[in-house]
Every structure is written in C-alpha cells, then in structure tokens.
Amino acid sequence: MEIYDYIIIGAGSAGCVLARGLTDNPENRVLLLEAGPSTDRFWVHTPAGMAKLFWHKELNWNYSTEPMPALGGRQMYWPRGKGLGGSSSINGMIFIRGHARDFDAWRDMGNPGWGYQDVLPYFKRIEHNERGADAYRGAGGPMWISDPALKMPSSFDFIASAERVGIPRTEDMNGELHDGVGFMQHTIRKGRRQSAYVAFLKPVEHRRNLTVRTGCLVQRILFENTTATGVEVICGGTRQMITAAKEVIVSAGSLNSPKLLMLSGVGPREELQRHGIRQLHELPGVGANLQDHFYVHTACRSTASSSYNHNIRGIRKYVEGARYLLTKGGYLALGASQVAAFVKSSPEVDYADLQISFRPMTFTFHASGHLEVDPQPGVGVSVYVLRPKTTGSVTLHSANPADPPKCTPNFLTDQDDVRAMISGIRQIRKIMGTAPIAARIVNEYLPGPQVQTDEQMLKFMVETGNTASHQSSTCKMGADAMAVVDERLRVRGIGRLRVVDASIMPQVTSGNINAPTLMIAAKGSDMIDQDGLSRRTIHV
C-alpha cells in the first residue's frame, strides 16, 4: 500500500505552489499527481511560443463549451493547460493581482482572513519583482516578475492617449494605484517563461519527501464514511489506490476540480443521480457560480513602425529566432500584451470594471487551429468586464472520468454586462482616435466603421467574442448554502479534503487570474501547515 501524508491532485499553478510549501516541512510526505506530461520544451520556455500551445494535443485539455443560445448557438474553444505548471505553462504570462477591493469583498462575503491586508503578504512572498521590493511588491520570492523586454513606441503613445482622455497613469497596477493605464508586467525571467512549475516546483523536485508523477488521471477520491482517505488513479494504464494519511487536496482547476468532486459523489443531488453516481455528500454549489472574463478584440491597420507584425513573419521571423537563441531577447521574449487600462464603464461604478489591453501586433486564428501573424502592420486592443454578473456552471457529460466537463458559461445573458462591454468598445475607439496614437492608425477593421449602434456592437460580440481563459469560482469559498469550501479551504461536510485553486474564488478578481491563484495556494499551504492534522491510523 502506497501511503503519503498529502496527495495533491493537479500540478498546475496551485499544485506546484502547494507541493513546494508542504515539502518545506521535511516531515511531510507529499505526492503530486498530474494528468499531463512534462512541460520541459522549447516552445513552452519561449514566451512567443504560447501561439503554438493554443491547440496543443498533449499540453492542452482542448475543452469546448456547450452551444450558447445568446451567442447564436456557438460553441467556444476553452484551452486549459495540461502538464506540469498547468495553464501557467501555456498562458500569456500577464501578472495582475486584482484590485485591493476584490479581496475585501471576499472577506465581506463571509471569509475572514481573505481581505487585502491579509493576502498582501502572500503576494509579496511569492514574487521576485525585478524592480525591487516596496510596500506592495516583493523581492527574493520564487516567481520572477519583469517588465516587457521591448516597449514599442506605439505602446507609449497608447498610454499618452489614454491619459489625454482622462485615464490616470499608473506605474504599477499591482501597487498603490490599480485603476489607470500603464505597462503590465509578466512572469518572464531573462527571456524565458516562468511557469509555476519552473518557479516553484522544479527547484525542489529533488526533495526526498516529494514524489511527482505525470500521466496520472485521478478517477475519484476515496472515502471512509465522509472522510477522504486517498485516491483511485490510473497511471500508465495501471489502476492504483493510493492512501493519504493526512489530507487529499484538489488543485485540478476551475473546470476539473468540480468535475472530480462530482465523480467522487460530492455535489448537487440531481446531477449525481442523472449519471448514476452514488451520493456521498450533497453540496449544491459544486460546479455552480462559474465565472469567466468574456472579451472582444478590436484591431486596426497601423503604420509600419507601430507594429511588430513584419518582424515575426516571413524571413524576418528566422532572424528573430536567431536573435532570441543568442540573446533571449527580441520580440520572441514578449508576453501577450504590453499595456492595460483599468477603467469604469460608467461614472456610477465604484471602481474600474473594465480591462482594456493593448498589443502592438495582430494575428488571426484559423479554424484549423493554425495561428498566423497578419501580413500588414496592425495593433490590437481587447476589453472585458472584470466582475461580470453572468454566472454559469460546470457539470458532467457522463460518469466516465475520461470525458471532459460540461461547461456552460451563459455569456451575454446579463444586460448590465452587455452595456459595460459596449462602453468598453466605445472607450477603445475614443483612445485610438486621440493623439498621439491616432497618428499611427490607418483604419479600424475590427469591428470596422460600419459598426456604430449598440445593436451592431452586440452582434459583433455575439459573432466574435471569446474567453480570456479566466475561469473561476466553481467551488466557491463562503458560508452560504452554495459555498463549497470554508475560509480554511476545507470542503464543507467532508473531513480531510480541501480544494485549493482558482475555483475557490467567491468572485473572479479584476484582471488576469494567475497571480491570485498562486497567492491562494501560498496561503492555503500555510493554512494546511497551521491546522496540522495528525496522521490517520491506517490498517494495512
């Protein structure tokens, strides 16, 4: 019988942080299980390689939503990382914590210990900011946070134009002033992606009290009465039962964590009955409250000096490749977007509810999955609602663990969200029509000048809107009837079982969610250590 103190399910952003934190104590024996493979590959390490990972058959779960009536029956592709580092190994590497008031709201929803002043020390602890430490930022932590390797002139002009229309400049949107416009930072170190695996797990893989296994799909959590005792897992085609002497920790992400709980008999009664799964414990909130950032992308043809499209096409892309191999610099060392503006959709909003992101390049995703950098110079600007009122669900297609989860996000079903998005498109146009960025624009082609009315903009969103891949909140933390975990991240009504990942967010944060996910895991690791459960008596 294999016995570990802690079994962590999922080696994504949260799982890697947890494995490091729990094995800091040499007395803890930790098993980290990951369904995907190793991610030690050139295009994973290369920031611009994210384009090649978007449809990757090995490193991506390649999920899709259910058809959405509000989007004309359209299904939406949802890439999710599969492998060591999870989505942090395939994402755009943007590091945004969210607004301080996001976390105060979590606290006020019945989660003591999760206010901004409570979580700030964990944000600081996990990072090494290349600018150095201050009251808000950390230095010396595992995750390297850097400025863009190249800052394009058009990015500076976008910031200047945003300031001219009344958006304040912020030098650090993870610092004192979140709302405003400025350069974003990324999880990139000396031109290489810093996934959670590279930053947190790889440096400690040699620890004798840590076992990491890839290619292992957990089938279900095992229980004795209502106490988690281990997992049933298939590794390399072999089914195994592995025992946890202290706790089982689910860190499989906002889509797979609720799926695994339901497969294990923990979840909404009707959903379990529908698939013939014996109910262990009814928790109606499992899989409910799905939140995501629905975004729309606008694009303009630009002057040649405003865009780096031509630098990464044709023969020039090989020159850039050589430059990257020699220096780890250049355009291949850049993250997804350079600049962000956090703005209000209307004066009545308390704090910024829209994120506008600018990138000095454009590309087209073809139906085949091939990404092609556009042949003409162009710049792209996207927008999404930060705290959407729309919620969806994650349920099951079947009781087969190999089947994907059933994802129903319900995008564009809340009129306040729709109105906010339309405001975002209009604000993008206002910025892009203001000097100095206006002088760099040849013409807008997405959505195009023919799209002017609210109805036309809604039609554009219906036809082209997409996910920002910030799925969260499907095992939310709280004290109400729909809460899945308490403020210590313990599954309600179940012993020795926790969920520690983005699924526990009561409300999605105001920005990209990788940074708060790392924070959740760092804080969760401390909680597990503080709670210090004794080992169960196991009869062999």
Same-domain pairing of 422 and 327 = yes
Whether the link from the prior residue into 112 is cis, omega within 30° of 0, is: no
516 and 97 Cβ atoms separated by less than 8 Å = yes
Q: Flag whether the pTM goes above 0.85.
A: yes
What pLDDT, on a 0 to 100 scale, did the predictor assign at position 366?
67
Same structural domain for residues 311 and 454? yes
Contact 490, 497 (CB under 8 A): yes
Give the pLDDT score at 367. Answer: 61
The 10s digit of each residue's pLDDT in 330-373 is 999 999 899 999 999 999 999 999 999 999 999 887 665 567 88
- Looking at the structure, tell me whether residues 457 and 403 fall in a common domain: no
Is residue 418 located within the same domain as residue 428? yes
What span, in angstroms and rounded, lies between the C-alpha atoms of 28 and 446? 54
Residue 368: the pLDDT is 59
User: In b/e form, how buried is each residue of 152-164, taking b as 16+ CB within 10 angstroms?
Assistant: bebbebbbbbbbe
Q: Would you say residue 127 lies in a domain?
A: no
Q: Are residues 418 and 329 in the same domain?
A: yes
Residue 142 lies in a domain: no
384: number of Cβ within 10 Å: 26
**Of the candidates 464, 482, 501, which is a domain's last residue?**
464
Number of folded domains that form the chain:
2
* DSSP letter for each residue of 484-512: -B-TT-BBTT-BSEEE-SGGG-SS--SS-
Q: Which residues of the chain have pLDDT under 50?
A: none
pLDDT at residue number 539? 74
Q: Do 312 and 276 belong together in one domain?
A: no
Quick: pLDDT tens for 129-158: 999 999 999 999 999 999 999 999 999 999
Within a domain: residue 118? no
The answer to the question of residue 124 being in a domain is no
pLDDT of residue 489: 98
Alpha-helix runs per DSSP H in 49-150: 50-53, 100-108, 116-126
CB 392 within 8 A of CB 290: yes
Summarised one tens digit per residue, pLDDT across range 384-395 is 999 999 999 999
Q: Quote the CA–CA distance of 395 and 79 in Å, as a whole number.
A: 18
Chain-centroid distance, C-alpha 246: 28
312 and 228 in a common domain: no
Same domain? 169 vs 247: no
On whether both 217 and 175 belong to a single domain, the answer is no
Answer whether residue 105 is part of any domain. no
Rounded-to-integer distance, Cα 15 and Cα 34, Å: 9
| 239 and 348 belong to one structural domain | no
Is the distance from CB of 128 to CB of 139 less than 8 angstroms?
yes
Count of CB atoms situated within 10 Å of the CB of 41:
17
CATH of the domain at 361: 3.30.410.40
For 217, counting Cβ atoms within 10 Å of its Cβ (0-12 exposed, 13-18 middle, 19+ buried), the class is middle
Q: pLDDT at position 33, please?
A: 98
Residues 380 and 271 in one domain: no
Q: What are the φ and ψ backbone dihedral angles of 313, each rounded to 5 degrees?
A: -130, 160
**Residue 479: which CATH number?**
3.50.50.60
Closest by CA position to 140, among listed 153, 152, 127, 131: 127
> Does residue 106 belong to any structural domain of this protein?
no
> pLDDT value at position 372?
81
Q: Does residue 470 have an active-site annotation?
A: yes
pLDDT at 336: 85
End position of a domain, from candidates 398, 429, 464: 464
Q: In which domain, by residue range, is 323 found?
A: 149-183+294-385+412-464
User: From residue 242, how far is each of 5, 29, 537 by CA, in Å?
Assistant: 11, 13, 15
| Domain identity same for 398 and 304 | no
**Where among 464, 485, 504 does a domain terminate?**
464
Q: Which of 297, 366, 470, 539 is catalytic?
A: 470
Q: What is the pLDDT of residue 31?
A: 98
Six token digits for residue 373: 């950098």
- The C-alpha R_g of the chain, in whole angstroms, comes to 23
**Please, what is the Cα angle at 18 between 279 and 471, to 5 degrees?**
60
